Amino acid sequence: MKQRWSRVHPEVEAAVRKIQSLFRYRIVRRTILEAIRGKFELVYDSDFGEYFYFNKETGESQWHKPLLLKTNELYADDAQSSAAATKIQAIMRGNLARQKLLEKIKKMFRKEYDPKTGDFYYVHLDTEEVSWDPPGSRFLGSKAPEIEVQSESKLMLERDAEIERLRKEIASKDKEIERVRSSKLHQLQEEDRSLRLVAALRGSKRSKEMDEWTVEHVVAWFDEMEQLSQYCTALTKNRIDGILLLNMDTVDLEELGITNKLHQRRLNVALKKYKDRYEQKQAGEEASEGEDDGSLGSETPSELLEEEALLTSDEESEVESEDELVPTEEELLEIKQDNENIAITIKFPGNGIDHPALGDIVRCHYSMYVVQKTGLRLVESSRKMRKRPLEFVLGVNQVIVGWERALVKMTVEERSKIRLSALYAYGADGAPPLIPPNSPIELDVELLSIRKRPYWNKLLVQPSMHSDRPYHVDDPFKERQGADAEAISDEDEEAGA
């Protein structure tokens, strides 16, 4: 049977023999490895930080691994565990030694503060030696112990910190004062220039013909009129002389900054006699000296008001009524609606001077309440909810209409309680879900500050290439005026002859 199987399957027989030889080799290899492990021992040398092989039978040691081990290691797991344990022990001993050293240093030194230099120094308690460097910083580095500051040094340190804070605060205040002073100085320089011009010409004689007035004459004339002296700076800046003022319309006055309707009407009333005289002069009509002295008025606006008070005719009474600046029907209706829908109760008065105008940026604290039958319900607050004041441009509908109408009646630093009807608040729609429809509103408003609206100052007299309607010096009126002057001089020569 064996011979027949060999003849039939020679490959299988060769494979079986190969497997048997490998198995025997492995058993022999394992036996030799166990014998070597029983003969040698792996030992760690702490001086060199390496392992060596110790022969337990002969007592000899060697650094290189026995050749019979080949790629195998002798008790490799035990060696790694021994090395890790040794490393951990070294770390623990180092930490304990460092901790004991830090505690000893803290007991040996005290930390003091030097107010002259603003630094700390360290005093040895036994030798009283002083050092600027922290104890142990040379060999401990950043891990040097933090020594507690003495109580007296803490007080001096707190005092110096408070002094430094106050110094910075004073420096900040000085910068703010310098900034405000510079801006005010620039503004005062502009105003002072106008005032000096006005002072130089105040009370001086002016021509009865306004078209002959210079810029300084116009500025002095405005300064003499009540409520119009605030525009003197704009007149000086735009170089408005008499003939320009006579030919200005409402749009030109608004560009000059005279936007108040009452001021415009007052100015038109004061200009009436000068415009009449100017029109007569252009039409070639000559008024008698008596008419100039009486019916056309006098030299200054104050004299004009005195003459209007003495007029008795119907035409003169009409002029006097115009000078009183009676509000129009629209203005009266607006005032009536404001009184019906706005109720203002002043809690803390303001400075009584700085009123906001349309276009100004206002900054205020506020609290808004909905008026209910049970009382007031808080809806929004800049102090409790927003945590900061509210800034908005007055007159562009950024807030409800009643708020804007009430603000123009307040002054800076004023705090008032404002009760608004639904018409001047959120109306019939309300502002769901917080404000129901047709709900009155109560506001607690404090006006903190005002930033005046920026004016775009456009020069009314511009070079010809920059304006569609330039003002020419050689206009027909001046040509005719020059011709009249030549004719008068000819007549004088004939009379003299």
pLDDT per residue as tens digits for the range 267-323: 888 888 888 888 888 887 554 444 444 444 444 544 544 444 444 444 444 444 444
Reference 218, options 236, 205, 193, 199; nearest CA is 236
CA dist., res. 471 & res. 478, Å (int): 12
**How many whole angstroms from its chain centre is CA 232?**
32
CA torsion sign for 313, 315, 320, 324 is positive
Is 457 in contact with 238 (CB distance < 8 Å)? yes
Radius of gyration of the chain measured on its C-alpha atoms: 51
Question: What pLDDT, on a 0 to 100 scale, did the predictor assign at position 456?
Answer: 60
Residue 222 structure tokens: 């405005």
CA dist., res. 148 & res. 150, Å (int): 6
Q: Is the peptide bond before 436 cis (omega within 30 degrees of 0)?
A: no
Reference 106, options 134, 79, 86, 131; nearest CA is 134
CA dist., res. 445 & res. 443, Å (int): 6
Q: Which residue type sits at 433?
A: P
Reference 447, options 338, 356, 378, 339; nearest CA is 356
**Mean pLDDT for each consecutive 10-residue tract of the chain (497 residues)?**
54 85 86 80 76 82 78 59 71 81 78 77 79 72 68 75 87 87 69 55 69 85 80 84 87 87 87 87 61 44 48 43 58 85 92 88 94 90 90 90 92 93 90 89 94 68 52 42 45 43
Residue 325 structure tokens: 């600046």
CA dist., res. 227 & res. 262, Å (int): 10
Question: What pLDDT, on a 0 to 100 scale, did the predictor assign at position 7?
Answer: 54
Q: Determine how β-strand 361-372 pairs with β-strand 342-348.
A: unpaired
Residue 439 structure tokens: 């709900």
DSSP 3-state assignment of 93? helix
* Residue 349, CB-side half-sphere exposure with 13 Å CA sphere: 3
Question: What pLDDT, on a 0 to 100 scale, did the predictor assign at position 131?
Answer: 78
Reference 304, options 265, 264, 266; nearest CA is 266
CB atoms within 10 A of CB 464: 10
Long-range pairs for 104-109: beta carbons < 8 A, 24 or more residues apart: 105/135, 105/136, 105/144, 105/145, 105/147, 106/145, 106/147, 106/148, 108/135, 109/135, 109/147
Reference 229, options 267, 203, 189, 265; nearest CA is 267
What does the buried/exposed string (b/e) look like for 249-268 if buried means 16 or more CB atoms within 10 Å of the residue's CB? eeebbebbbbebeebebbbe
Reference 423, options 448, 396, 405; nearest CA is 405
Q: Please, which residues have CB within 8 angstroms of residue 155's CB and are 6 or more apart in sequence?
A: none
Altogether, the residues listed in the chain come to a count of 497
Is 275 in contact with 319 (CB distance < 8 Å)? no
CA dist., res. 398 & res. 362, Å (int): 11
Four-CA torsion 315, 318, 323, 327, nearest 10 degrees: -160
DSSP 3-state assignment of 406? helix
* Residue 201, CB-side half-sphere exposure with 13 Å CA sphere: 21
Q: Which residue type sits at 478?
A: K
Q: Determine how β-strand 50-55 pairs with β-strand 40-45.
A: antiparallel
- Beta strands, E only, 300-355: 342-348
Q: Under CATH, which number does the domain 331-451 receive?
A: 3.10.50.40
Is 444 in contact with 417 (CB distance < 8 Å)? yes
Question: What pLDDT, on a 0 to 100 scale, did the predictor assign at position 165?
Answer: 87
CA dist., res. 97 & res. 144, Å (int): 13
CA dist., res. 342 & res. 418, Å (int): 7
Is 405 in contact with 424 (CB distance < 8 Å)? yes
Residue 18 structure tokens: 């190969």
CATH superfamily, domain at 203-323: Transcription Factor, Ets-1 (1.10.150.50)
Is 75 in contact with 37 (CB distance < 8 Å)? yes
Residue 316 structure tokens: 């003169």
